Chains A and B, each alone.
Chain A
Amino acid sequence: AQSVTQLGSHVSVSEGALVLLRCNYSSSVPPYLFWYVQYPNQGLQLLLKYTSAATLVKGINGFEAEFKKSETSFHLTKPSAHMSDAAEYFCAVSDQTNAGKSTFGDGTTLTVKP
């Protein structure tokens, strides 16, 4: 069985500040890990994914995440927040046999203050 815990359902940062969205996972097999973003009234889109290659993964819009097996974490970061980053972010885990059958976290809503 797999599970994902996103710490903090709401995160608020000032424009230009560091963004840190936390994700911890549980998996009995080597996982694939994903971050998706959902802008208001839009579908989810992939930000980045970890597939057992490099542990530091870079995604779109300046986001990156680091896979830390010892901490079972896959936190999402961005050095400098932009107003357009305001959205809901979902962390997801799957096993390597079917990346689409993912288990999602409850999501973190990011607010960016001017």
Chain B
Amino acid sequence: GAGVSQSPSNKVTEKGKDVELRCDPISGHTALYWYRQSLGQGLEFLIYFQGNSAPDKSGLPSDRFSAERTGGSVSTLTIQRTQQEDSAVYLCASSIRQGSAGELFFGEGSRLTVL
């Protein structure tokens, strides 16, 4: 498809388990962002990737969170030893390039529920 694709759309897991969330950005978009949207709150920046540069991890809430982007395209957000407070919608967005005032294109998100 032409848009940002995220999977799974819904994930229910037990506390303590690891989860992986996938993002496939729009082809040709060099910048990729992960945000977290908790119930009733705005979006919280987590991490972004720009080309082959080192990612900006300044928004990751703890060392249980990590992300990688392979080949400058698909990205995976991993949450280890999940906690109930990790329950949220995880949104991925891509844009043509960092530093532009270009539009962010968002996926539909991955809803994570930690029991």
Please list the residues of chain A having a beta carbon within 8 angstroms of any beta carbon in chain B: 4, 6, 9, 32, 36, 41-46, 49, 51, 90, 92, 96-107
Contacts and interface: CB of A to CB of B under 8 A. Distances in A.
Contacts of A4: 42
B33 to A, nearest CB: 5
Contact of B98 (A36, A51, A98, A103): A98
Nearest to B93: A100
Given A43-B108, A44-B91, A101 B33 contact: yes
Contacts, number: 66
Interface of B: 3-4, 31, 33, 35, 40-45, 48, 56, 91, 93, 95, 98-109
A7 to B, nearest CB: 14
A28 to B, nearest CB: 17
Contact of A98 (B41, B99, B107): B99
Contacts of B33: 100-101
Nearest to A103: B45
A41 B42 CA distance: 16
15 contacts: A4-B42, A9-B40, A32-B101, A36-B104, A43-B3, A43-B109, A44-B91, A45-B106, A51-B101, A92-B43, A98-B99, A101-B33, A101-B48, A101-B56, A106-B42
